[in-house]
Amino acid sequence: VRTVAVMTSGGDAPGMNAGVRAVVRRALDCGLEVYGIHNGYEGLVSGGDAIRPLGWNDVGGILPRGGTFLGTARSERFRTVEGRRKAVENLCRRGVQALVVIGGDGSLMGARVLAEEWVTHCAELRRQASEDVCARMPDRLHVVGLPGSIDNDLYGTDMSIGADTALNHIVHAIDDLTSTAASHQRTFIVETMGRHCGYLALMGALGGGASWVLVPEEELDLRWHQKMSRAIERARAIGRPHQMVVVAEGARHPDGLPIRTEELKKILAERLGIDVRVTVLGHVQRGGPPSAFDRILATRLGVAAVDLLLSASEEPLCHMLGLQKNRVTATPLSEVVEKSRAVGSHIDQGNYREAQKLRGESFAR
Ligand code: F6P
């Protein structure tokens, strides 16, 4: 491998910049040529100025910055075969032999499809492209994905880049809300992000000392609101008049309909006659500088991505790098995509059981 391109895709996550920086600097150190793709797959399809060479100084000063300096997007054009053919053409023009994609499951799935279709698109392009482009056209595309998502919903890694920073935002927000809740003897409903995954809600509840948590992975029975109300009532009775209830945005009723924060407010206010307020944390969870953990995770994975590419053989790589038990591991993207979608696979069962044991009155003591 002599030429590598790097991009960020899907929702931004704190630490993505650290990942790009590590890929660029490790690659340059190893004598490779590096391109940065701006605005995710949208930029890959557009080509032109959206795909630019990156030098050492281009990634200077970005380590502590949140978001992604390369920009990101959710691209409709890349979902079409025509769009992906254009993407292949844009990579071929620059002689790119390997692509590093930092993003969530949708983005990694996109990378996998691109790698799979590579040979077909190249064969077609060979019929139309100039001799110059044909001469630069690699036989295969190596793809390495890095898990970049605050949701922490990817199989093949204990943590994804951005999740730790988001979790810290949540715990700090709960701490901050606790002082106003205590002053007014109020109960707060705090909604976290996480899409279909309850990781942020569950860990936020544990770290913030909440009295109840609702996550998508738990199949609720029809009496769930009674149980929740009883837990809050008991916690209040043993001497703490202010309570926190954390709800994941993906939490569902037994019939599959989403649980709304206003609905929780109504249940608790009407059943217990208490003062309830709702705080939806929203995009603040994705913002700001990455935590030390996310910077280091992204840096380790970025360096490992280049090293893996340098060891690549004839067989095209199509893997995601993750951190498992503090070691960098490579998992085939097909496995990552398939297993990440399995319901309930996202939350470490040990942590989940721990939270179950701790909640209710034991949380509030
Ligand atoms: O996947 C990251 C995430 O922040 C989810 O937690 C959330 O559901 C979604 O993205 C929000 O997407 P958008 O920024 O497009 O509103």
Bridge pairing between strands 327-332 and 318-324: antiparallel
151 is catalytic: yes
- List all residues whose CB is within 6 A of at least one atom of ligand 1: 11, 104, 149-151, 193-195, 249, 286
Q: Which of 195, 190, 191 is nearest to 160 (CA)?
A: 195
Contact in structure between 151 and 197 (CB atoms under 8 Å): yes
CA-104 nearest atom, ligand 1 = 1
Which one-letter DSSP state was computed for residue 284? G
Q: What is the pLDDT of residues 261-279, one digit of tens each?
A: 999 999 999 999 999 999 9
How remote is the CA of residue 12 from the centroid of ligand 1, in Å? 9
Q: What's the rounded Cα separation, in Å, for the pair 5 and 192?
A: 33
pTM of the model: 0.94
What ipTM is given for this predicted complex? Answer: 0.98
Contact in structure between 75 and 42 (CB atoms under 8 Å): yes
- Residue 360 in tokens: 């209710």
Residues 6 or more apart whose CB falls under 8 angstroms from that of 32 comprise: 1, 2, 3, 4, 306
Which residue has the least CA distance to atom 9 on ligand 1? 195
Q: What's the rounded Cα separation, in Å, for the pair 292 and 64?
A: 9
CB hemisphere CA count around 352 (13 angstroms) = 14
CA-151 nearest atom, ligand 1 = 6
Contact in structure between 151 and 200 (CB atoms under 8 Å): yes
How remote is the CA of residue 149 from the centroid of ligand 1, in Å? 9
Q: Which of 249, 286, 340, 346, when mutated, tests ligand 1's pocket best, judged by the most ligand atoms within 8 Å of its CB? A: 286
Selecting among 12, 105, 151, 164, the annotated active-site residue is 151
Q: Residue 105 — φ and ψ, nearest 5°?
A: -65, -40
At 51 the pLDDT is 98
Tokens 């070691």 label which residue?
327
89-108 mean pLDDT: 95
pLDDT surpassing 80 at residue 354: no
Tokens 């060891």 label which residue?
311
Q: What's the rounded Cα separation, in Å, for the pair 35 and 50?
A: 10
Q: What's the rounded Cα separation, in Å, for the pair 199 and 160?
A: 11
Q: What's the rounded Cα separation, in Å, for the pair 328 and 162?
A: 17
Confidence of residue 240 (pLDDT cuts 50, 70, 90): confident
CA-195 nearest atom, ligand 1 = 8
133-157 mean pLDDT: 92
Contact in structure between 4 and 24 (CB atoms under 8 Å): no
Angle formed at CA 117 by CA 116 and CA 119, multiple of 5 degrees: 100
190-217 mean pLDDT: 93
Q: What is the pLDDT of residues 162-174, one digit of tens each?
A: 999 999 999 999 9
At 126 the pLDDT is 87
At 277 the pLDDT is 98
Q: Residue 258 — φ and ψ, nearest 5°?
A: -65, 145
Residue at 9: amino acid letter: S
Q: What is the pLDDT of residues 35-45, one digit of tens each?
A: 999 999 999 99
Which residue has the least CA distance to atom 2 on ligand 1? 11
Contact in structure between 83 and 75 (CB atoms under 8 Å): yes
Which residue has the least CA distance to atom 8 on ligand 1? 195
For 212-238, the three-class secondary structure string (H helix, E strand, C coil) is EEECCCCCCCCCHHHHHHHHHHHHHHC
Share of the chain above pLDDT 90, in %: 82
Contact in structure between 104 and 154 (CB atoms under 8 Å): yes
Which residue has the least CA distance to atom 14 on ligand 1? 11
